[in-house]
Each structure stands twice: as C-alpha cells, then as structure tokens.
Amino acid sequence: MKRRELAELAGSLGLGAWAAFGVLGAVAVGHGGAPLVLDRDVLAWAVGHRSATALAVARGVTATGTGVFPCLLVAVAALAAGRAPRQRLAMAAFGLAAMGGGQASRYAVMRLAHRPRPPYPDWATHASGWAFPSGHTATSALAAGLLIAAVSWRAPRGATGLRLLIGCWAVSVGLSRAYLGVHWCTDVAGGWLFAAGWLGACLWGAARWLPDVFVAQPPPRTGAEESRSRAGVGRPARGPDRGKGA
C-alpha cells in the first residue's frame, strides 16, 4: 500500500472512531454520568457469574493492560520489525511517543468527563480515577494496534494468527474491566474507540511526514532472484586464468 493510500485509510478510520467516541461520550457522560440500562445489565450479569477461577484469570489479564508491559511490547515489536538499526530506533521512538501521547490525552479526557465508576461493593479488583474512557482498555488497545501495525509492516502477507492473538488480548483486557466491576461497559467501548481514533491519527501523521528511510519497505525478492543469488548467477565473471598456458 502506498503512503498516500495508507494516510487516507488511517485518517478515515481515525475520524470515524473519533466521531463515534464523541457520540458515546455525550451519551455516557450526560445526566451526571449515570449508567445506562445496558451498563446496569452487564454489571449485574458479571456480578452474578463470578467464580474464583474466573476472577483469578480476569485479574491476571487486566494486569497486562497497564504499566510497563504494553510499552515494552510496543518497543520490542518495533525493534523486531525494523530492518536496520536506524529504522528500529525510529519505529521504537514512534511507538513509545504514540503510547505516551495517547495516555496523556486519555487522562485529559477522563478528567474532563469525570464519570463515576460502578458502586464500590461490586468491585473485584483495585481501581482509581474516573471511569470514562477505561484506561486499561485504551492502553491495551493502542498497544495492540501498534503491534499489529508492526507485524503487518514486517509480514504483510502472513502472520494472520499472530494478529488475531494480539487483537484477542486487547479485547480480553477490556472485557475484564467490565467483568471485574470497575468500569461500565460503555467505559470499555469508549476506551476502544479512543484508541482507534488516536492510532488512526498517529498512523496518518506517520504516513504523511516520516522520512522514507524510516517507513519504506525494501522490494521483496522473487523466488527466481533468490535462486539466482544462491547459484551465483549474475555475479561478475572471473577473468581468464593467466597462469594457464594457451
């Protein structure tokens, strides 16, 4: 995909996600942040379907959605996707900058929305701060998006299973926040939409303004070219052996 096409696609997806996030935010934050009927129903179901094993799994999954782990994943993926030291460092810096900027912007939106969390007796893990949008959900979704972008850049025609695994991880983190009762389900949806909008904006900017040396992929080698290379075809021919007689 050409850079202009990538920029247009990322920009369109980002704008769509921001529009949906704005509508959801207006609905979720309206009336003092009171929960919607869907919020109450999902929380009631979660509280009524908890077991010791399920809670342990949910707490383990939700712990991977914040802190150093998502940033470490992004940095490792960028270093692995790059084909030269300069490119690896540039991709790692871009990924960490996108994560940091997303965290700061999400925190500002959360403070502006100041939506209360679900009732404390329904919590099954520790939480702090306001509810909308879910921080764990947004962080894991943004990290997953950057990981998928790096994997797709490195292997555009393969690694489908890895991309699905990364996406399932981010979805699981978001669902665990609602299951553990520390977020309304609309907070989780807001986290996903926020991450999609922010990621679209970051990829749009990268496709438009990053130098080619950082983002351009080398042309893939065909099977025939690889076979010729191994066989030595196309190499400069040796001159006549002057040591031999005529």
With 90 as the cut, is the pLDDT of residue 186 above it?
yes
Q: Is the pTM of this model over 0.85?
A: no
Q: Per-residue pLDDT tens for 70-106?
A: 989 888 888 877 777 877 888 888 888 999 999 999 9
With 90 as the cut, is the pLDDT of residue 184 above it?
yes
With 70 as the cut, is the pLDDT of residue 239 above it?
no
Residue spans of alpha helices (H) in 130-184: 135-154, 160-179
Give the pLDDT of residue 139. 96
With 70 as the cut, is the pLDDT of residue 111 above it?
yes
Instruction: In the chain, count H helices and then E strands.
Output: 10, 0
With 80 as the cut, is the pLDDT of residue 175 above it?
yes
Instruction: Point out the least confidently predicted range of 1-10, 53-62, 122-131, 154-163.
Output: 1-10
Give the pLDDT of residue 78. 82
Tell me which residue has tokens 């555009």: 156
Q: Other CB atoms closer than 10 Å to residue 102's CB: what's the count?
A: 24
Query: Mean pLDDT in the chain?
Result: 84
Higher-pLDDT residue of 223 and 246 is 223
Higher-pLDDT residue of 75 and 237 is 75
Distance CA 185, CA 196 (A): 17
Summarize the confidence of residues 174-203 as an average pLDDT: 96
With 70 as the cut, is the pLDDT of residue 236 above it?
no
With 90 as the cut, is the pLDDT of residue 48 above it?
yes
Q: Are 109 and 194 in contact (CB under 8 A)?
A: yes
Q: 130: closest CA among 112, 109, 116?
A: 116
Summarize the confidence of residues 128-136 as an average pLDDT: 95
Give the pLDDT of residue 1. 56
135 band by pLDDT with thresholds 50, 70 and 90 = very high
Give the pLDDT of residue 84. 76
Tell me which residue has tokens 């940033």: 71
Q: 88: closest CA among 213, 208, 200?
A: 213
